[in-house]
Structure 1
Amino acid sequence: MIAPQSRNGGVYIENEWIEQQALEVREEKARKPFADFVAKLFKHKGAVFGAVIILLFVCTAVFASWLAPYEYDKPDISAVLQPPSAEHLFGTDEFGRDIFSRIVYGARISLRVAFVAVGISLVIGTVLGALAGYYGGVVDYIITSITDIAWSFPTTLLAIAFIAALGTGVENVIIAIALASWAGYCRVVRGQFLSLREREFVQAARILGMSDARIIFRHMLPNALAPVIVMATLELPKAIVIEASLSFLGLGAQPPEPSWGVILDSGKGLLDQAPWISFFPGLMIMLVVLGFNLFGDALRDVLDPNS
């Protein structure tokens, strides 16, 4: 697209033209209007199945206080280690607490940890990746070096290290997962910015004298978000598994909090007497991870420019 000409023949660049160029790049990458994108996404059977599972768990977390038939932390000595029945759908644990109620409330912990931790890591990684890709040079070298160091450690192991420094608890688990998982976003966004910074609309914005912040966050970042959104969707189940693992090891949520990892830990010594204690939270973890993975895979397929 050629910039409009001024009356005296000189070329000038209007803000509106810059905005239009940025919009055209977004449309070029998205290819189709949002409504068509949603229609294409939900033609994918995996997206539908995954979305249904995710919606069920989100509703369970939101309406936990209405869905749970018992208090999750109230022991009942007369109902110790009862198997699944009409009275206790998923059975009871060694203190007589209803497993179903604890799993329902545990959905709140798992989803809160996942969404908040992934949100924080996404912001950190996106900002650092944008700065590295836009400025290059020394800034890129420093950020890339830090990213490579963080990337070299397994996420769970790095999260354990942060927990060792911060202490146990759900809030510290959120911080630990966020600090351990931002590097992937940084690498993806940096790669996107390296390709975008030479585009015509970015060069025009520089000539016009727009601030770096406006160029980065108004014009370039929206064009780099598609792979980041897909990655975040696939990182959510990973965060749920890490939270459950840390709680199982006694490093995350602490009893009597109804984290799925805590419930798994309480049932590990009772597998021969009461296998339902560990079976049902393990099943919930498997289902919610399956839902996010199916939806994330479908989202990746739909956003693939070659599809």
Structure 2
Amino acid sequence: MPEPTKKTVSAFTKKPKSLTVEVGAMVLFEAQTEKEDAKVRWQRDTKDITGSDKYIISAEGNKHSLTISNAAPEDAAGYAVISGGSKVKFELKVKEAEAKAPAKAALKPPAEAAPPADAPSEPSVDGPPAVPVPSEPPAQTSETNDHAPDHHEGHHEENQNPDTRQDLTGLFSEKPHSGEVTVGENITFVAKVCGESLLKKPTVTWFKGKWMDLASKSGKHLQLKEHYDRNTKTYTFEMHIIAAKANFAGGYRCEVSSRDKFDSCNFELTVHEVQTVEGFDIRAAFRRTSTDSGDAGELDFSGLLKKRE
């Protein structure tokens, strides 16, 4: 009978394992022999490795190690550790370092600014945004003081540069017209704006001259009012001049704006002086006029003398 094959006993009780590391890493392979005085050799691609700054070989009792510093792609190869008749093969693989995720910012990015309350809403998936129906603004009547458009202040404002904007868009559906009034009487100027295509309530400003804002002059002689008609979707703005004075005469201007739209209109106010009645001489009514008969005449209040029949 043939003799049974003898099983080879390994000289190693602990064997190094194949590793995969990133570029720049330090690699440690460890082995342990059965005998403490066993001689051990390390190989790379079947060639013995000698100790250096790159390869550090260590032996302490029956413990042995091979350290490879600063692993590079060219260090990837087949390695082996040999003791007596035992040889253990293993591999080293070196991969590029993975890009690390950037550190989170210490501060959170500023929150997105909330859109103005009057800004149009973003289009929804289901369809175009609905145009909001403007609410009916309350009539505004300011009577905080007794100032009226002042002639001297108006003259000062007229020396300022006029508005040169040319982006008129025809917002007025009715413009205020020039008017005439007698001293002490009232007059109203009216401006209308169609709000059907507007997403925001328009702003109307009344000026005298170039450009005295009359909002600051509201009071006893001047009142500014406005109201909104839901049925016609029309804004009506009124400027009431009460008990007009002579110095109220002159050029006026009405401006309307809504977001990126603008319109304006110039008009004039003429103030007439009160016509005085020619003087009436009451003494002429009592003068006696002689007649042939010597009779007294009958007097009426027109100053004319009638003969008595």
Higher relative helix content: 1
Larger radius of gyration: 2
TM surpasses 0.5: no
Greater relative CO, 1 or 2 (CA 8 Å, sep 6+): 1
Q: TM-score range by the shorter chain?
A: under 0.3
TM-score normalised to the size of structure 1?
0.18
